[in-house]
Amino acid sequence: MGLLTAEIISDLKTEGYAAQDVSSAIALVVGIYSLIVGLLKMGFLLEYISVPVLSGFLSSAAITILLSQVGSIVGLSDVPSGASKSIENILRRIPEMKPLTIVIGLSSLLLLYILEFIGKKWGKSSASIALICSSRAAILLLVYTTISFLVNKDREEPLWTISKVNANGLQVPKVPTSDLISKVAIRAIAPLVASALEHLAIGKSFGLKNKYAIDESQELCYLGITNAVNSVFGAMSVGGAMSRTAVNSECGVKSPLSGIFTSGFILLTLYKLSDALFWIPKATLSAIIIMAVIHIVGPVSLFYRYWRISFMDFVASMLSFWVTLFVSTEMGIASAVMFSVGYTLIRSAFPKVRTFSATGAKNRKIPSGQATNPPTAEDIPVPEDTMLISFTDSIYFPNAGRIKKLVLDSVKVHFEKQPAVDEEVGISAERSWSVASMKRIEMLRKRDSVVPSSTSMTVMVWDLTQVPFIDVTGVLTLCELKEEVKQHVGKQMSLRLVGMNNKTRCRFSRAGWTVVEDREVNDGTIGDVDVLYERLETALWDRDDAVEQQKTALQEKPYYSNSGVRLIPRALDDNGEMVESIQPGATVFNQ
């Protein structure tokens, strides 16, 4: 938050605005934004920032803060902001570094590290050690401020750089000017995102640790109120801090009531101990800041794990990291979020569609787990005159056209085009002048080792079980798909649907698409009606044609050969002929 605020202040100071005024305006805008998001329950918008993007952003921001503090550690002033400029300026000014300031800075870093190490190793076994180590920053300030005061109080020029903080309590409450608010309105989005994400992440992690759940909207409202009130008193925008929250947790804090004691101590410092702040060595302050943010930098193993799990997430994290480091924090997180959202949209435009057909080299049977609930012991074969289309994602405007193309290609690969006849004049339609589509279908057949079926398609089944959402474009595209399939395989093709949820069926109905359930079909059902089935295997094998009626009749009626031997029908061959067998022990007689 300090880095993001400092960047905005640096840009607006050239226009004559005071730093505290810019900081107050940022805090007010962040507070208003947080309140709006919290009251409207729009916290889900923050989910568009993925974990890899956030990791890259936080790591880069932490490194930027580290580099900005190196100048104070070694006694250099007026070090420019930005990673590349900071590194170049520090290396060029090595002869100007102050040895005593370096000693103060490095010793402060060493003491902080030692106290942190002791706290981790023995803090759990001793409450006093844990308290001392968790208060290491305050102890360090007390020690080095005392030394600085004793050494430099009688000198015109201090031996090392001191902070020279002049605190005279709180400023008179005032609201930031409207013109300044308008200038920071857009740029305050980055501090809002940073504070909200950090605040919610810390709340969730400590809620998990201490076995309680947080209300995200309530937390955002609290964050908004805090920043809005702070802005009146000249404070900068704030959010949850990992280090401060960790200290509170270790000290046994159970509620926000602890903030009263923290605020009281800060007010006491501002009004009664302000003279002591003047002598704090800058190197000591920089050491405290460095040790506070160094743990935010993600380890190399973290980004290697992103590489192993998902290359595109790794790219997003690296984009966030490097752009934040060498361009700006706003551009870093914005570019990474746009990349992630863009990749997600592109990926959704290329869905997978599974097709099952008896003529294919594979996918000739439906896996038992997909066919029924509960699953059967065996896979379900697909009839020769049938094709099953299993959709695997929502159907909406980015992917509807591609889904239609994939299904049409699959139909043309597995089934020959039926000759089109002009119903009025009874003549064959002319062949199209372009043969590119035909050549492409032949190439696909050769690639997939498919021999097209000599049987015309009479049934097409659409499995919509994995389609939770469909929009207008999706419905209209499926309507076009149905008609184009019929143009290829013939008007006798009937469409059957499986796994359609109520919302999808409602949208089909509003589009004028008549869908009836299989149990509602009767002799009076007429017109262009598509049937909805509950079970996939029923949709595949349910037949109400002459062949099926003949098969049923053969199974229910005894038949006799010319010699009087009773025959039992077992099945029908591919031509619809009965395959017979003699029943063992059958009675032979003449009729």
The confidence band for 209, taking pLDDT boundaries of 50, 70 and 90, is low
pLDDT band at 552 (very low <50, low <70, confident <90, very high): very low
Mean pLDDT computed over every residue of the chain = 80
Instruction: Specify whether the CB–CB gap between 396 and 474 falls below 8 A.
Output: yes
Dump pLDDT digits (tens) for 99-124. 899 999 999 999 999 998 998 888 88
Report residue 423's pLDDT band, with 50, 70 and 90 as the boundaries: very low
User: What integer pLDDT is reported at residue 365 of this predicted model?
Assistant: 66
Asked if residue 553 has pLDDT above 60, the reply is: no
Whether the pLDDT of residue 430 is over 60: the answer is: no
What torsion, rounded to 10 degrees, do the Cα atoms 374, 380, 382, 387 define? 30
Q: Are the C-beta atoms of residues 350 and 370 closer than 8 Å to each other?
A: no
Question: At 462, is the pLDDT very low, low, confident or very high (cuts 50, 70, 90)?
Answer: very high
Q: Prior bond to 374 cis, omega within 30? A: yes
- Nearest Cα neighbor of 235 from 263, 261, 203 is 263
Percent of the chain having pLDDT more than 90?
20
Angle (CA) 238 242 248, round 5°: 100
Tell me the pTM.
Answer: 0.72
Residue type present at position 159: L
Residue-level pLDDT at 406:
92
Q: Which two tokens stand for residue 442?
A: 């032949």
Answer whether 489's CB lies under 8 Å from 411's CB: yes
Average pLDDT on 529-543 reads 85
CA-CA distance, 42 to 309, in Å (whole number)? 29
What pLDDT, in 10s, does the model give residues 362-420? Answer: 666 666 555 545 454 456 788 888 899 999 999 999 999 999 999 999 899 888 887 76
pLDDT of residue 339: 93
Sheet with 515-517: list strands edge to edge. Answer: 353-357, 386-391, 459-463, 494-498, 530-533, 515-517
Write out pLDDT tens, residues 236-295.
888 776 666 766 666 667 777 888 888 888 888 777 777 777 888 889 988 988 888 888
Residues contacting residue 524 through CB under 8 Å, at least 6 positions apart: none
Residues belonging to the chain: 591
CA-nearest of 450, 441, 191 to 330 is 191
Domains within the chain, CATH numbers bracketed: 2-345 (no CATH), 353-420+437-544 (3.30.750.24), 548-582 (no CATH)
Q: Which amino acid is at 125?
A: S
φ/ψ of 365, rounded to 5, equals -130, 155
| Long-range CB contacts for residues 501-509, cutoff 8 Å, separation at least 24 | 501/464, 501/467, 501/468, 503/469, 504/464, 504/467, 504/469, 504/470, 505/532, 507/470, 507/471, 507/472, 507/475, 508/475
**Please, are residues 329 and 7 in contact by the beta-carbon 8 Å criterion?**
yes
Higher pLDDT, 305 or 436: 305
The whole-angstrom separation of Cα 276 and Cα 44 is 45
Contact 315, 342 (CB under 8 A): no
Q: How many helices (H) and strands (E) does the chain have?
A: 24, 11
What's the Cα-to-Cα distance from 225 to each of 44, 214, 228, 230, rounded to whole Å? 20, 17, 5, 8
Mapped onto helix, strand or coil, the DSSP state of residue 530 is strand
Q: Does residue 563 have a pLDDT over 80?
A: no
Give the tokens for residue 72.
């104070």
DSSP string, 117-178: HHHHHHTTT-HHHHHHHHTHHHHHHHHHHHHHHHHHTT-SS-SS-B------SPPPP-PPPH
CA 289 to chain centre: 32
Average pLDDT of the segment spanning 37-51: 83
- Measure CA of the first residue to CA of the last residue in the chain; give whole Å: 100
The radius of gyration computed from the CA coordinates of the chain, to the nearest angstrom, equals 37
* DSSP state letter for 294: G
